[in-house]
Protein backbone atom coordinates (compact mmCIF):
# COMPACT_ATOMS: atom_id res chain seq x y z
CA UNK A 1 0.00 0.00 0.00
CA UNK A 2 1.57 3.34 -0.97
CA UNK A 3 1.35 5.96 1.79
CA UNK A 4 -1.51 8.36 1.27
CA UNK A 5 -0.30 11.64 -0.19
CA UNK A 6 -3.15 13.48 1.50
CA UNK A 7 -3.24 14.56 5.11
CA UNK A 8 -5.73 12.71 7.30
CA UNK A 9 -8.22 15.55 7.60
CA UNK A 10 -8.41 16.11 3.87
CA UNK A 11 -8.78 12.39 3.25
CA UNK A 12 -11.66 12.20 5.68
CA UNK A 13 -13.39 15.13 4.01
CA UNK A 14 -12.96 13.44 0.63
CA UNK A 15 -14.45 10.16 1.81
CA UNK A 16 -17.37 12.08 3.30
CA UNK A 17 -18.01 13.98 0.06
CA UNK A 18 -17.88 10.81 -2.03
CA UNK A 19 -20.14 9.06 0.44
CA UNK A 20 -22.67 11.88 0.26
CA UNK A 21 -22.60 11.90 -3.55
CA UNK A 22 -23.06 8.13 -3.80
CA UNK A 23 -25.73 8.24 -1.11
CA UNK A 24 -27.62 10.89 -3.08
CA UNK A 25 -27.35 8.91 -6.30
CA UNK A 26 -28.51 5.72 -4.56
CA UNK A 27 -31.45 7.54 -2.98
CA UNK A 28 -32.44 9.18 -6.28
CA UNK A 29 -32.48 5.78 -7.99
CA UNK A 30 -34.04 3.85 -5.11
CA UNK A 31 -37.10 6.08 -4.75
CA UNK A 32 -38.62 5.44 -8.23
CA UNK A 33 -37.67 1.75 -8.08
CA UNK A 34 -39.30 1.36 -4.66
CA UNK A 35 -42.39 3.14 -5.95
CA UNK A 36 -42.76 0.46 -8.61
CA UNK A 37 -42.29 -2.19 -5.93
CA UNK A 38 -44.88 -0.55 -3.67
CA UNK A 39 -47.50 0.04 -6.40
CA UNK A 40 -49.81 -2.68 -4.96
CA UNK A 41 -50.22 -0.56 -1.80
CA UNK A 42 -52.24 1.92 -3.88
CA UNK A 43 -55.46 -0.04 -4.22
CA UNK A 44 -57.05 2.70 -6.35
CA UNK A 45 -54.29 2.23 -8.93
CA UNK A 46 -54.69 -1.55 -8.94
CA UNK A 47 -58.44 -1.22 -9.61
CA UNK A 48 -59.49 -2.21 -6.10
CA UNK A 49 -61.06 1.15 -5.33
CA UNK A 50 -63.93 0.52 -7.74
CA UNK A 51 -67.26 -0.15 -6.05
CA UNK A 52 -68.52 -3.67 -6.60
CA UNK A 53 -72.27 -3.96 -6.83
CA UNK A 54 -74.77 -5.93 -8.84
CA UNK A 55 -78.38 -5.37 -9.84
CA UNK A 56 -80.67 -8.38 -9.53
CA UNK A 57 -83.69 -8.40 -11.79
CA UNK A 58 -86.47 -9.40 -9.41
CA UNK A 59 -88.63 -10.72 -12.25
CA UNK A 60 -85.86 -13.16 -12.99
CA UNK A 61 -84.98 -13.82 -9.36
CA UNK A 62 -88.28 -13.77 -7.44
CA UNK A 63 -87.80 -13.55 -3.69
CA UNK A 64 -89.46 -15.99 -1.31
CA UNK A 65 -89.05 -16.75 2.37
CA UNK A 66 -86.68 -19.60 1.42
CA UNK A 67 -82.97 -18.95 0.85
CA UNK A 68 -82.10 -18.93 -2.81
CA UNK A 69 -78.57 -19.07 -4.12
CA UNK A 70 -77.29 -16.41 -6.53
CA UNK A 71 -73.91 -16.86 -8.16
CA UNK A 72 -72.18 -13.51 -8.38
CA UNK A 73 -69.60 -13.34 -11.15
CA UNK A 74 -67.04 -10.74 -10.08
CA UNK A 75 -64.72 -9.34 -12.70
CA UNK A 76 -62.53 -6.60 -11.33
CA UNK A 77 -60.14 -4.30 -13.09
CA UNK A 78 -56.73 -5.46 -12.01
CA UNK A 79 -54.02 -2.94 -12.90
CA UNK A 80 -54.09 -2.85 -16.72
CA UNK A 81 -56.99 -5.13 -17.55
CA UNK A 82 -59.99 -7.06 -16.28
CA UNK A 83 -59.12 -9.92 -13.97
CA UNK A 84 -60.18 -13.52 -14.49
CA UNK A 85 -63.87 -13.73 -13.43
CA UNK A 86 -64.31 -15.00 -9.90
CA UNK A 87 -67.55 -16.68 -8.92
CA UNK A 88 -68.84 -16.02 -5.43
CA UNK A 89 -72.12 -17.34 -4.00
CA UNK A 90 -74.68 -15.26 -2.14
CA UNK A 91 -78.04 -16.21 -0.64
CA UNK A 92 -81.20 -14.09 -0.78
CA UNK A 93 -84.59 -14.34 0.91
CA UNK A 94 -87.47 -12.09 1.94
CA UNK A 95 -88.77 -12.82 5.41
CA UNK A 96 -91.71 -10.79 6.74
CA UNK A 97 -91.06 -7.95 4.31
CA UNK A 98 -87.34 -7.84 5.19
CA UNK A 99 -84.89 -8.61 2.42
CA UNK A 100 -81.83 -10.49 3.61
CA UNK A 101 -78.69 -11.10 1.59
CA UNK A 102 -75.80 -13.09 3.03
CA UNK A 103 -72.45 -13.85 1.47
CA UNK A 104 -71.78 -17.51 0.76
CA UNK A 105 -68.10 -17.10 1.57
CA UNK A 106 -67.26 -18.88 4.80
CA UNK A 107 -65.99 -16.51 7.49
CA UNK A 108 -63.37 -19.08 8.50
CA UNK A 109 -61.01 -19.35 5.51
CA UNK A 110 -63.07 -18.32 2.51
CA UNK A 111 -64.50 -21.60 1.17
CA UNK A 112 -67.94 -21.50 -0.45
CA UNK A 113 -70.73 -22.67 1.88
CA UNK A 114 -73.51 -25.00 0.74
CA UNK A 115 -77.21 -24.53 1.38
CA UNK A 116 -78.58 -27.66 3.06
CA UNK A 117 -82.13 -28.94 2.34
CA UNK A 118 -83.22 -27.86 5.84
CA UNK A 119 -82.26 -24.24 5.08
CA UNK A 120 -79.05 -24.22 7.13
CA UNK A 121 -75.53 -23.66 5.76
CA UNK A 122 -72.60 -26.02 5.80
CA UNK A 123 -69.00 -25.33 4.90
CA UNK A 124 -67.44 -28.52 3.50
CA UNK A 125 -63.83 -27.47 4.06
CA UNK A 126 -63.65 -27.63 7.87
CA UNK A 127 -67.19 -28.64 8.72
CA UNK A 128 -68.35 -25.19 9.83
CA UNK A 129 -72.12 -24.86 10.35
CA UNK A 130 -74.48 -21.88 10.27
CA UNK A 131 -78.17 -21.96 11.17
CA UNK A 132 -81.17 -20.98 9.01
CA UNK A 133 -80.55 -17.30 9.90
CA UNK A 134 -76.93 -17.62 8.71
CA UNK A 135 -75.71 -17.34 12.30
CA UNK A 136 -72.73 -19.29 13.56
CA UNK A 137 -73.79 -22.73 14.82
CA UNK A 138 -70.69 -24.94 15.17
CA UNK A 139 -67.18 -25.61 13.91
CA UNK A 140 -64.20 -23.32 13.38
CA UNK A 141 -65.81 -20.18 11.78
CA UNK A 142 -65.24 -17.14 14.02
CA UNK A 143 -68.54 -15.37 13.27
CA UNK A 144 -71.86 -15.42 11.39
CA UNK A 145 -71.94 -15.30 7.60
CA UNK A 146 -71.44 -11.73 6.34
CA UNK A 147 -74.59 -9.78 5.55
CA UNK A 148 -74.46 -7.82 2.32
CA UNK A 149 -75.97 -4.38 1.89
CA UNK A 150 -78.97 -4.50 -0.46
CA UNK A 151 -81.31 -1.79 -1.68
CA UNK A 152 -84.61 -2.54 -3.35
CA UNK A 153 -86.24 -0.57 -6.11
CA UNK A 154 -89.40 -1.41 -8.08
CA UNK A 155 -87.94 -4.11 -10.25
CA UNK A 156 -84.44 -4.68 -8.98
CA UNK A 157 -82.35 -5.43 -5.96
CA UNK A 158 -78.95 -3.74 -5.80
CA UNK A 159 -76.40 -5.77 -3.80
CA UNK A 160 -73.12 -4.21 -2.77
CA UNK A 161 -70.13 -6.49 -2.32
CA UNK A 162 -67.79 -5.54 0.48
CA UNK A 163 -64.05 -5.23 -0.14
CA UNK A 164 -61.96 -7.89 1.58
CA UNK A 165 -60.65 -5.29 4.02
CA UNK A 166 -64.20 -4.23 4.98
CA UNK A 167 -65.09 -7.67 6.31
CA UNK A 168 -63.26 -8.50 9.49
Partner 1 sequence: MTSALLILLLICFSLSGLSGMALALHYVPTPEDAYASIAWVQEQLPGGVFVRSLHVFSVSGFIALAYLLVLWLLLSRAYRELPWAIWGCSLLLLVLGLGSGFTGSLLPWTQHAYWDATIRLGIMGQTPVIGPALQRIAQGSGELGLTTLPRYAALHQILLPWLLAATLIPLIRHFLPASASTKELLIRHGIALAGVALVALISLVQPAHLGAIADLASQYAAARPEWWFLPLFQLRKMVSGPQEVLWMLLLLNAAGLWLLSLPWLDRGRWSKPVLGITITGVLALLVLFTLGLGDRPPLAGEAAKMAETSPGAFQVLPSAVTADSL
Is residue 33 at the binding interface for partner 1, with CB under 8 A as the rule?
yes
CB atoms within 10 A of CB 98: 7
Is residue 98 at the binding interface for partner 1, with CB under 8 A as the rule?
no
Shorter beta-carbon distance to partner 1: residue 85 or 142: 85
State the nearest-atom distance from the C-beta of 154 to partner 1, in Å.
Answer: 17
* HSE-up (13 A, CA, CB side) for residue 57: 2
Is residue 8 at the binding interface for partner 1, with CB under 8 A as the rule?
no
23: left (phi over 0), alpha (psi -120 to 50) or beta: alpha
Shorter beta-carbon distance to partner 1: residue 11 or 151: 11
Is residue 20 at the binding interface for partner 1, with CB under 8 A as the rule?
no
From 76-84, 98-106, 116-124, 147-155, span contacting partner 1 (CB under 8 A): 76-84
The answer to whether residues 150 and 47 touch, using CB atoms and an 8 Å cutoff, is no
Is residue 37 at the binding interface for partner 1, with CB under 8 A as the rule?
yes
Q: What is the Cα–Cα distance from 93 to 100, expressed in whole angstroms? A: 5
Amino acid sequence: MPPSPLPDLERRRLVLTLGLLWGGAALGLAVPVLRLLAAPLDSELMGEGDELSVELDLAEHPLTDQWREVKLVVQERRAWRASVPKVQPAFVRELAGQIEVVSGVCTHLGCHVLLEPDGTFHCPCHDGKFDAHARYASGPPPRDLDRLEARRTEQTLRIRLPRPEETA
